[in-house]
Amino acid sequence: MQAIELLRQVSTPHGFLATPTDRHNYRRVWARDSVITGLAALTTDDSQLIETFKQSLLTLAKHQGKAGQIPSNVAVEKNQVSYGGSAGRVDATLWFIIGVEQYVRHTGDTTTQQQLQPAIDRAKHVLLAWEYNQGGLLYVPDTGDWADEYTRGGYVLYDQILYSRIQPQVSELIKQRYWSDRYWTSMISPFGRSTQFDTFANVLANLCGVSSPEQAAAVDHYMAEHFAEKTHYLLPAFDPVIQPTDPSWDQLSNAYQFEFKNKPYHYHNGGLWPMLSGWYVMDLVQRKQRNLAKQYLDGLHQATAAGFPEYLDARQFQPGGTPQLAWTAAAVLFAEHAYETNAIAGL
């Protein structure tokens, strides 16, 4: 199956499903998944897929929470709305605002923009409330974003970078507080700074212009040293892997809804995510590192040759998690688009 075919398969009148696979709560319109899929749809100039992106945004706005928060996911046919599991999902609101901005910028659809503006205003208002101390950074609860079964919370870098696309002054706060010589610190909490490497956050820091050229090169060096050939040019969500002997294992092993997924080298705990490779290809192309971009694009193609898995385990390199994930297919599309045209999907 081609990537664009999967996007058509998950298209519904209410927006993009995360997957056609009926597993757990995946077969729903998810905020982050549908926006990332929608960003890929914009690169295709396929009118039907772009319309599905619009319907995703309208569905999310329709089910906006009382405080202004955007739902994590919506099962329209079942009339079920989730704003998170054990904690709310901060990044759902962030991705929604980014998605509306990019959709309107690409299409010029001011009618939909006006229709969604009240939802945008309410969403921005709740984000200000989530600053809590009015310090300019969002405070994210444990499991409060895409790493929804992982052990992190506080001032999480990934969420701050998304927030900087909405509030540009946040970029300066990130530059002042998060750099740690070799890479960007994944989070700051009242208890200190994390030493883990957050791949998505570091790639987004490069892609969104938070990193200086020297900092981006340092991040590249870390990734070349720890990933690259060792991981078949695929990327883990976090590094290093949390092992059963580590102090945070007990907390990690209890952070799940349906079943425990974070065994060592699986899921967020060292599993290799093709979706992340797609973002890194865009970052590398933007910085004119085409040879390295081609290696990661080839790794992405190899990982998705037989389908579009959620992740691959980092020992046997076998597909894991939910199969036929839309944002994995989306990563293929925007990585290919970047490499072939030197144009970067908007964020």
Counting the structural domains of the chain, the total is 1
Residue 253, in any domain of the structure: no
- Cβ atoms of 344 and 338 within 8 Å: the answer is yes
- Cβ atoms of 277 and 235 within 8 Å: the answer is yes
Residue in this structure with the two tokens 């927006």, named with its chain if needed: 15
SS3 for the chain is CCHHHHHHHCEECCEECCCCCCCCCCCCEEHHHHHHHHHHHHHHCCHHHHHHHHHHHHHHHHCCCCCCCCCCEEECCCCEEECECCCECHHHHHHHHHHHHHHHHHHCCHHHHHHHHHHHHHHHHHHHHCCCCCCCCCCECCCCCCCCCCCCCEEEHHHHHHHHCCCCCHHHHHHHHCECCCCEECEEECCEECCCEEHHHHHHHHHCCCCCHHHHHHHHHHHHHHCHHHHCCCCECEECCCCCCCCCHHHHHCCCCCCCCCCCCECCEECECHHHHHHHHHHHHHCCCHHHHHHHHHHHHHHCCCCCCCEECCCCCCEECCCCCHHHHHHHHHHHHHHHHCCCCCC
Q: What is the pLDDT of residue 258?
A: 87
Residue 5, in any domain of the structure: yes
Q: Is the peptide bond before 240 cis (omega within 30 degrees of 0)?
A: yes
pTM here is: 0.97
Tens digit of pLDDT for each residue in 55-113? 999 999 999 999 999 999 999 989 999 999 889 999 999 999 999 999 999 999 999 99
Residue 78, in any domain of the structure: yes
- Domain of 6, CATH number, reads 1.50.10.10
Q: What is the pLDDT of residue 347?
A: 85
Tens digit of pLDDT for each residue in 107-135? 999 999 999 999 999 999 999 999 999 99
Residue type at 69? Answer: Q
Residues of the domain holding 26? 1-129
Tens digit of pLDDT for each residue in 189-231? 999 999 999 999 999 999 999 999 999 999 999 999 999 999 9
For the chain, the C-alpha Rg in angstroms (whole number) is: 18
Residue type at 257? Answer: Q
Residue 234, in any domain of the structure: no
- CA nearest to 59, candidates 87, 92, 26, 91: 92
Token pair belonging to 337: 């688009």
pLDDT beyond 90 at 23: no
Cα angle value 106/211/148 (rounded, 5°): 70
CA distance 223 to 130: 32
- Cβ atoms of 104 and 113 within 8 Å: the answer is yes
Residue 324, in any domain of the structure: no
CA distance 191 to 248: 14
CA distance 173 to 171: 5
Phi-psi region of 285 (alpha: psi -120 to 50; beta: other; left: phi over 0): alpha
Q: What is the pLDDT of residue 345?
A: 86
Q: What is the pLDDT of residue 169?
A: 98
The rounded percent of the chain whose pLDDT value lies above 90 is 95
